[in-house]
Amino acid sequence: MIASSSCQIMRSLHFFIFFSALITTYSTSTAVEITKGINGLDKVILRQTQGSGVEVYLYGAHVTSWKNGQGQELLFVSSKAIFDPPKPIRGGIPICFPQFSNLGTLQSHGFARNRLWTVDNNPPNVTSEVANGVFVDLLLKPTEEDLKIWPHRFEFRMRVTLGPTGDLMLASSIKNTDADGKLFTFTFAHHTYFSVSNISGVEVKGLGKLDYLDNLKNRERATEVGDAITIKSEFDRVYLSTPTEISILDQEKKRTFVVQKDGLPDAVVWNPWEAKAKTMADFGEDEFKYMVCVEAAAIEKPITLKPGEEWKGRLQLSTRL
Ligand SMILES: *[C@@H]1O[C@H](CO)[C@@H](O)[C@H](O)[C@H]1NC(C)=O
Ligand SMILES: *[C@@H]1O[C@H](CO)[C@@H](O)[C@H](O)[C@H]1NC(C)=O
């Protein structure tokens, strides 16, 4: 009697595990969650079964967290970051659009990072690559107020995907939706802040022998002499026509970030160092030691879109030991 009932329990337990496995495999709803973040701002959380996760705020379509399967944070966000629109968030992955830095008449880095984006619940073109990952599509269209400062209608779609092995993909498409035949021109960057254990032991690889514009010397053009870039003081350079892959070695952690990109030929490398850090209200005095920005960008040759035309850019971040 006892034996047979425990056997029954075992059987139903097996069924239970079998069905739970089915539910876990086929239910994607638990992998994408929209919730409240800091100051009640909406954020989307993407989770993978192997433990990795991504958080993206609708404010700015701003990725503020990317964690690996061990729960380690891979992006830097300042302990003094302010989550209070229209202040941009210090850290993570701000979007610079339609203007990088002060290369135009708009506020620094444009306005996309200061706007509330929306979630597209009916995303187009869900390919098998995307289907294997967990993703969310975010959309930005100009408001009437935006059109007063930048008189161009556009649709900016960014698909944020957390891949099956924890890679983070940002696939952007920007379309000129002007009806009156006007073209527009923009510059762009994913201003990624990577978390590092000690800036003194960081090497950025893939930019050796390339030309760059030195933002600390009025964008004077120069050529990088070394193979690997090390940072020992304030650093702010736009490397031009860079390869599709750049890597960042964190010697102390024995970890390498791999940046792969398409449609984004330039790469900005930035660290404010000590003196500049002291002038930034939303950045801790010592935090320059624990971050480096390596930004996939289109800066030197601005992108022009005719009405109906679309531009695509893609950034993929991964790590290897
Ligand atoms: C979706 O696919 C269509 C047709 O191939 C293409 O024109 C469009 O640019 C794609 N949209 C996105 C957001 O990738
Ligand atoms: C970073 O590395 C440098 C050089 O090895 C060392 O002098 C410094 O103490 C380290 N800083 C921290 C915060 O570990």
Ligand 2 centroid, distance to 140 Cα (angstroms) = 42
DSSP letter at 37?
-
Ligand 2 centroid, distance to 194 Cα (angstroms) = 18
Ligand 1 centroid, distance to 295 Cα (angstroms) = 25
Q: Which residues line ligand 2 (CB under 6 A)?
A: 198, 200-201, 289
Give the number of whichever ligand sits closest to the CA of residue 287: 2
Q: Which residues line ligand 1 (CB under 6 A)?
A: 124-125, 157, 173, 310
Q: Do residues 287 and 257 make contact, with C-beta atoms less than 8 angstroms apart?
A: no
Q: Are strands 134-140 and 266-271 parallel, antiparallel or unpaired?
A: unpaired
Tell me: the pLDDT tens digits for 104-159?
999 999 999 999 999 999 898 887 666 678 999 999 999 999 999 999 999 999 99
Q: Token pair of 158, please?
A: 């960014």
Tell me: the pLDDT tens digits for 165-204?
999 999 999 999 998 889 999 999 999 999 999 999 999 9
Assign 259 to helix, strand or coil: strand
Asked if CATH classification 2.70.98.10 holds for the domain at 5-320, the reply, yes or no, is: yes
Nearest CA to ligand 1 atom 1: 125
152 noted as active-site residue: no
- Where are the domains positioned within the chain? 5-320
Q: Cα separation of 237 and 267, whole Å?
A: 8
Task: State which ligand 2 atom lies nearest to the alpha carbon of 289.
Answer: 13
Q: Cα separation of 53 and 136, whole Å?
A: 13
